[in-house]
Structure 1
Amino acid sequence: MNPADELRTAADKLRKLATAATPGPWRNHDTHLGQHGHTATVLSGEGNDTDLRAWLPSQNHEPWDETRNVRNDAAYIAAMDPGVGTALADWLEETARNSEPFETINARALAVARAINGTTS
C-alpha cells in the first residue's frame, strides 16, 4: 500500500469510528459514588440530557486518584471526541489528496495514519 492509501485507509477507519460514536462534545467529570468514593467519568450532553460515555474505575475516597491516572485518562478521552476524529479524518484525506501530484507525503500525517491503522510501514 502506498503512503497516500495508508492515509485514506486511516481516514476511513477513523471516520467510521467517529460516526458510530455518540456525538460530542465530551467532557471529563469527577463523579462521587457516595460511600464508594470517587471515579473519573466521561460524559456527553448538557443538563438533564447528560449521558455516561466512559467510566474509569478508581473508587477511592480522594477525588482524582492520581496514582491510577484516571483523571488524565478521562480528560484525554473527552478531548478526543468524535468531532476530533472527524477533523483528523478530513486532514488525512486532504493530505493524501495534496501529496499525490508531488509524490511526497507529510511524515507526521503518515505517522498518525500508521498509528490508527496499527502498522509500521
Structure 2
Amino acid sequence: MTPADELRTAADKLEPLAAAAQEDLDGGDYWMVYDPATAWHDGLTNGMGGASGDLAAALPPNAVTELARWLRSAARDAREIGPDPHALAVARAINGSSTPTSAAAEPAPAAVEHCVHDRAVHQHHHHTPVDGCPWCAASVEARS
C-alpha cells in the first residue's frame, strides 16, 4: 500500500463514522437531554468521564469530517510531492497499521516526479530544509 493509499484508507474509515455520529447526535435519544450546542461534549464527558471522555469530546463529528478532508488532501500531496510524515503517522494510527522501521520501507518518489518547485514552495510542503530533503536535494542538484 502506498502512502497515498494509507491516507485515503484512513479518510475512508473516518467519513462514514463521522456521518453516522452526526446523524445519531442530531436525532438519537441519548443526546436529546443535552443542549444541542454542547451535546457532543456534555454527552461524552458525562457518559465516559475522565481523560477518555475529554478526548472523545474534543473530536466532534464535524472535526472528524475535516480531519478526513485533510487526509484526502495529504493523499493528493503524497502523490505529487511525497507524503507528509505527520499526516502519514495520523493515517497509520487510524488504520491500526505500523510505521515502517526504516527509510528503505518507505520508498521515495523519483526526484523528477517529486520536486520541481523552488525553495519557498518546498518549505510550504515540507518540514525539512531543501538541502536535507532526499527528493528536493536531488532535484535542486539536477537543475543546477
CA offsets 1:65-108 (integer angstroms, 9 cap, x no match): xxxxx332222111111111101100000011122122x10000
1:83 aligns with 2:62: yes
1:120 aligns with 2:109: no
Q: Equivalents in 1 of 2:2, 2:70: separation in Å?
A: 17
Per the alignment, do residues 72 and 13 of structure 1 end up closer, same or farther by CA in structure 2, a change over 3 Å counting? same
Q: 1 or 2, which has the higher helix percentage? A: 2
Q: Equivalents in 1 of 2:21, 2:13: separation in Å?
A: 13
What residue is the counterpart of 1:100 in the other structure? 79
Contact residue 7 and residue 113 of structure 1 kept, 8 A: yes
Work out the number of aligned pairs and report it: 89
What residue is the counterpart of 1:16 in the other structure? 16
Contact residue 3 and residue 78 of structure 2 kept, 8 A: no
Contact residue 4 and residue 79 of structure 2 kept, 8 A: yes
Q: 1 or 2, which has the higher strand percentage? A: 1
Over the aligned positions, Cα root-mean-square deviation in angstroms equals: 2.9
Q: Equivalents in 2 of 1:2, 1:77: separation in Å?
A: 29
CA offsets 1:30-68 (integer angstroms, 9 cap, x no match): xxxxxxxxxxxxx67526xx5874413xxxxxxxxxxxx
- Compare relative contact order (CA 8 Å, sep 6+) and give the higher one, 1 or 2: 1
- Which residue identity is paired with 2:56? I
Unaligned runs of at least 5 residues, structure 1: 26-42, 57-69
Q: Equivalents in 2 of 1:110, 1:24: separation in Å?
A: 29
Please give the TM-score of this superposition, normalised by the length of structure 1: 0.62
Q: Equivalents in 2 of 1:87, 1:13: separation in Å?
A: 13
Structure with higher Rg: it is 2
- Which residue identity is paired with 1:6? E
Unaligned runs of at least 5 residues, structure 2: 26-30, 100-144
Q: Equivalents in 2 of 1:81, 1:22: separation in Å?
A: 8
Please give the TM-score of this superposition, normalised by the length of structure 2: 0.53
